[in-house]
Amino acid sequence: MSLSKKILEISASPTLALNAKAKEMKTSGIEVLNFSVGEPDFETPENVLKAAHRAIDDGYTKYTPANGLPILKEAIVAKFKRENDLDYDTSEIVVGSGAKPLLYATLVALCDPGDEVIFAAPYWVSYLELVKLADAVPVPVLALEEDDFELKAEAVAEKITEKTKVIILNTPSNPTGGIISEDELGKIAELVVKHDLYVIADEIYERLLYEGKHFCIANVNEEMKKRTITINGASKTYAMTGWRIGYLGADTEIAKPISNFLSHVTGNPNAIAQMAFVEALNGPQNAVENMKKEFRKRRDLFVDGLNSIHGISCKKPAGAFYLYPNFSGLFNKNRQDSMAMASYLLDELHIAAVPGKVFGTDEHIRFSYATSVEVIEECLRRLRNISS
């Protein structure tokens, strides 16, 4: 007896594995500074918690439509119009149990076996595995550090073949926090139309943008809107990681088969969480702005501190809550790559951060600054003591 080749080729999430190890070390009494997981350290807003309690009292404990409650889909339509100037009908909205299932369902809906999917490297680790699970071929395109990790249309063009079907765009990005400018998105849009492609726009960090204004490629023109599947969720913006609610907007021809797929795989998203997310979208947004203000303060402190340490250089990201500093200046015969460097940080300095190799580059370490100023300052103190 043997398991399928497909499942055996899928790797466990390295960020979750590292987080688990850090927690084990903490349990054993070691003071670990954990920068490994992309989870806001803020509480879910109080008005959202109250809405969840009301939902229970009102009997929202049964099955819902597989693609989401009508009241939530209406709130998402209003959000797209209010924040993104995009017009969708509720038939073009799909609600899922987080953004990950929606990404996978979208890839299954768009790709036949052997189709190629382009995305930027450094990349979120799950893109690689989700593309493979959909029987498609991942095609990373290097986004250069000297370009602030911005994916360039020229680099994308070099990777397009007759098998290319989809381009995934993540802006702001995990792991770099970098963005793709409106001008560059326009150039990528021209390639999409020219080569008859689709775009999956992963905009989970859109509200956590510290410089500039967010722009979605679906806004380029109506043709791009038809070719774009815009995916977002509750987790990052509203500190609702455990609630598992994501959503997408797409042309009905795409949204309907995705809904059909999810009806068999996930059934429906959590009913109580859906009602809580209605309140998150429609209610006051001051908690989001306060969180963003604190993240910006942490970012500035952390970037300045890292750049003051000999051997480390760090770009200041425009969004999300990650730093992707270059540690190659501290590599030596015992620490020759990001994996060895990350192991050294955890084992010797008790700092948990993710090696760049799992994101597609090998000179960097990813730090999530979804933690306190005090923890960041202690991390910088420990990093200043790295042995040569």
Let me know: does 265 contact 101? Beta carbons within 8 Å.
yes
Q: What's the pLDDT score for residue 387? A: 65
Q: Which of 282, 314, 330 is the last residue of a domain?
A: 282
The Cα–Cα gap between 173 and 184 comes to 15
Q: Which residue has the tokens 């009913």?
A: 271
Phi then psi for 244, rounded to 5 degrees?
A: 60, 65
CA dihedral sign of residues 81, 86, 91, 95: negative
Which of 233, 261, 282 is where one domain is finished? 282
Question: Are residues 267 and 364 both part of a single domain?
Answer: no
**Six-digit token string for 177:** 């926090």
Q: Tokens 């954990």 belong to which residue?
A: 34
Q: Does the residue 220 lie in any domain?
A: yes
Rounded CA gap, 151 and 364, in Å?
17
Per the confidence metrics, is the pTM higher than 0.85? yes
What residue numbers bound the domain in which 223 lies? 62-282
Instruction: Give the pLDDT mean for 247-271.
Output: 97
Burial (CB count within 10 angstroms: exposed 0-12, middle 13-18, buried 19+), residue 371: buried
Longest CA–CA separation in the chain, Å: 63
In a domain, 244, yes or no: yes
Number of domains in the chain: 2
Q: Which of 255, 282, 309 is the last residue of a domain?
A: 282
* Per-residue confidence (pLDDT) for residue 259, from 0 to 100: 97
Structure tokens given for 156: 């994308």
Q: Do residues 216 and 256 share a domain? A: yes
Which of 243, 205, 206 lies closest to 44, judged by CA?
243
Summarize pLDDT for 328-372 with one digit per residue, the tens. Answer: 999 998 899 999 999 999 999 999 999 999 999 999 999 999 999
Which of 19, 31, 25 has the alpha carbon at shortest distance from 378? 31
Report the distance separating Cα 183 and Cα 55, nearest Å. 43
Task: Give the model confidence (pLDDT) of 297-306 as tens digits.
Answer: 999 999 999 9
**Out of 62-71, 117-126, 332-341, which region has the weakest mean confidence (pLDDT)?**
332-341
